Amino acid sequence: MRYESIGDAIGGTPLVRVDALIPEAARAKGIHLYAKVEMLGPTGSIKDRTAKALIDDLVFKGLLAPGKELLEPTSGNTGAALAVHAAARGIPITLVMPSNVTEERRAFVRALGATIVDSPADQGSNGAVLLARAMAKADSKYVSPDQYSNQANPKVHEITTAPEILADLPEVDVVVAGLGTGGTATGLARYFAREKPSVKIWSAEPMPGEKVTGLRSLEDGFTPEVMDTELLAGRILVNSRDSIIGARALARATGILAGPSTGATLAVALRVARDAEPNSNIVFIACDAGWKYFSAGLGDGNLDEMEDALEGDVFWW
Amino acid sequence: MEISTRWKTRSKAMSSGGSTQRLDSVVGIADRPKRVSISAEIAIAIRAHARGEAPREACGIIIGSAPAASGGAPLRWIPTTNVLASSTLYEIDPAQLLRISLDADDAGESIWGIVHSHVASPAVPSVTDTTVAGYPDALYLLVSLAPSQAAPDGEPGIRAWWIVDQVATEVELVVQA
């Protein structure tokens, strides 16, 4: 395949059958499970789609004229993806991240030419958001993509992720996505409500107070503007431990090495599978790659210690 | 829209404080049961699984009404696959572990105990065992096939341990008649 830009290589991710993980009872009912393998993009996460869509939207609106600079508070996948797509388009970018973010993550975005501004470690992600807002207020050169409120976020899933699923699996009945900004689930729900209303969209959410990197609980009191929960069939809460076990199970049983947020999504998919109608086809979004979490012990570390690592206030969305 | 609260409920039930309380910080060693018991039926099944898997280490899970550390009662034994298929190491098949964990959540139950066998050494956690133990609320049961470690009735000896922060503390185990 030949492309004009790395941004053009986004999407078109594989849909892989992973029936090995389905409980016997569900398998006997003819239920099939598929992973939409999003970690095969340039930065190994579904945020490649989001970042490109956000930048495209700002360019389309004329907000990224020469002299302007992208500014985003993020320590994780969105920052990495924005750095890639900003580099591909020659747009300067500054990422605000807590000073305790690992050197691996800093090196990744620095290598792509991003400028890093440290926010206080003890204030976590919220501190990064506050500092970025203050910087944007003080200097008009900064333009924030703001994935939490920009409708380009759910839109990209409505016009790419969802149609890809339906094209690859017209007999799809259920799609399960993790709830981070809510962009994926909302975009999927809007598309299927229109094109195949019988498809149910479920979301995976961390338990209130527990942290599954990349996901957030609405019960913790923050609902992103892009999120439209009314379109969802339901939300299922997952604890950190099951998210880690889920990621390990997926890797061992299928060879798909994904992160804890994918593990959480898998856990919800299995739960939905148990109660699903016979012959249902269930898709879950494998949203980011597992190699990013080796230092936290995803591969074979102590479960309890990895839970501690996830409890750190650094997120990957 | 449906919001499943079952797992949330379990978390709260196991939490002594606010919603950010970690599950494993609930019960200190001093506050745990000083004596635990399992049914003869479970003990027989554990021993049979250990013998059947030898010379590989065997493993499995005991589901309970709550974690052993919280005083839960053991309800049933689930043998699992040791994916390492080793005579000195074990790891419960993650896919089985995930299903068991989800089933327990849905049923309002918990992982009460985690069991594995030692083929030729005493029923004492090895350094590896304490390092990989990731369920501080669960009871770790070890069954030894070494003849010198047999119980008074000649059956393979079973001993029980709390493993918290990589430190193993033995707890008295009674096999009910």
What's the mean pLDDT when you consider all of chain B?
86
The answer, yes or no, to whether residue A79 has pLDDT greater than 60, is: yes
This prediction has a pTM of: 0.84
Give me the residue from A252, A303, A305 closest to B83, CB to CB. A252
Cβ–Cβ below 8 Å for B101 and A304? no
Give me the residue from A23, A239, A304 closest to B7, CB to CB. A239
User: What is the C-alpha to C-alpha distance for residues B161 and B174, in angstroms, rounded to an integer?
Assistant: 13
The total of structural domains in chain A comes to 2
Q: How confident is residue A102, by pLDDT bands cut at 50, 70 and 90?
A: confident
Q: Which domain holds residue A122?
A: 47-143
Q: Are strands A281-286 and B59-64 parallel, antiparallel or unpaired?
A: unpaired
User: What is the C-alpha to C-alpha distance for residues A201 and A95, in angstroms, rounded to an integer?
Assistant: 32
Q: Indicate whether A171 and A90 sit together in one domain.
A: no
CA A272 to chain centre: 20
DSSP letters for A142-180: EE---TTT-THHHHHIIIIIHHHHHHH-TT--EEEEE-S
How distant, in Å, are the alpha carbons of A174, A287, B62 from that of B66? 32, 33, 11
The answer, yes or no, to whether residue A311 has pLDDT greater than 60, is: no
Q: Assign residue A70 the CATH number of its domain.
A: 3.40.50.1100
Mean pLDDT within A98-124: 87
Q: Indicate whether A256 and A166 sit together in one domain.
A: yes
AA identity, residue A208 = P
| Residues in a beta bridge with B139 | B113
Q: Which residues of A touch B94 (CB under 8 A)?
A: 245, 248-249, 251-253
CA distance A185 to chain B (A): 14
User: pLDDT at position A315, please?
Assistant: 41
Cβ–Cβ below 8 Å for B4 and A249? no
Q: Indicate whether A259 and A167 sit together in one domain.
A: yes
Contact by Cβ (8 Å): B111, B24: no
User: pLDDT at position A122, please?
Assistant: 79
Nearest chain A residue to B129 by CA distance is A302
The answer, yes or no, to whether residue A75 has pLDDT greater than 70, is: no
In a domain, A226, yes or no: yes
The answer, yes or no, to whether residue A261 has pLDDT greater than 60, is: yes
Q: Which CATH architecture has domain B33-175?
A: 3-Layer(aba) Sandwich (3.40)
User: CA dihedral defined by A257, A262, A265, A266, rounded to 10 degrees?
Assistant: 10
Cβ–Cβ below 8 Å for A237 and B8? yes
User: What is the C-alpha to C-alpha distance for residues B122 and B146, in angstroms, rounded to an integer?
Assistant: 7
Q: Indicate whether A84 and A114 sit together in one domain.
A: yes
The answer, yes or no, to whether residue A309 has pLDDT greater than 80, is: no
Q: Indicate whether A116 and A232 sit together in one domain.
A: no
Strand residues in chain A grouped as ranges (E): 15-17, 32-37, 69-73, 93-98, 115-119, 142-143, 174-178, 200-206, 234-238, 281-286
The answer, yes or no, to whether residue B21 has pLDDT greater than 60, is: no
The answer, yes or no, to whether residue B26 has pLDDT greater than 70, is: no
Contact by Cβ (8 Å): A264, A284: no
The answer, yes or no, to whether residue A178 has pLDDT greater than 50, is: yes
Looking at chain A from residue 224 to 253, which residues have their Cβ under 8 Å from any Cβ of chain B? 229-230, 232-239, 241-242, 245-246, 248-249, 251-253
Is the alpha carbon torsion for A69, A72, A76, A78 positive or negative? Answer: negative
Is residue B110 helix, strand or coil?
strand
- Pick the last residue of a domain from A112, A143, A174: A143
In a domain, A317, yes or no: no
User: pLDDT at position B6, please?
Assistant: 40
Q: Which residue has the higher pLDDT, A26 or B51?
A: B51
Over residues A12-61, the pLDDT tens digits come to 999 999 999 988 888 899 999 999 999 988 899 999 999 999 999 999 99
Q: How confident is residue A314, by pLDDT bands cut at 50, 70 and 90?
A: very low
What's the mean pLDDT when you consider all of chain A?
88
Contact by Cβ (8 Å): B166, B139: no
Q: Indicate whether A203 and A229 sit together in one domain.
A: yes
In a domain, A237, yes or no: yes
Cβ–Cβ below 8 Å for B94 and A245? yes
Is the alpha carbon torsion for B68, B74, B75, B78 positive or negative? Answer: positive
CA distance A226 to chain B (A): 18
Q: Indicate whether A294 and A188 sit together in one domain.
A: yes
- Pick the last residue of a domain from A75, A108, A143: A143
- Domain residue spans of chain B: 33-175
- Pick the last residue of a domain from A143, A178, A203: A143
Over residues B133-177, the pLDDT tens digits come to 888 899 999 999 999 999 988 999 999 999 998 899 999 999 997
Q: Indicate whether A11 and A57 sit together in one domain.
A: no
Q: Indicate whether A273 and A196 sit together in one domain.
A: yes
The answer, yes or no, to whether residue B65 has pLDDT greater than 60, is: yes
Annotation says A29 is catalytic: no
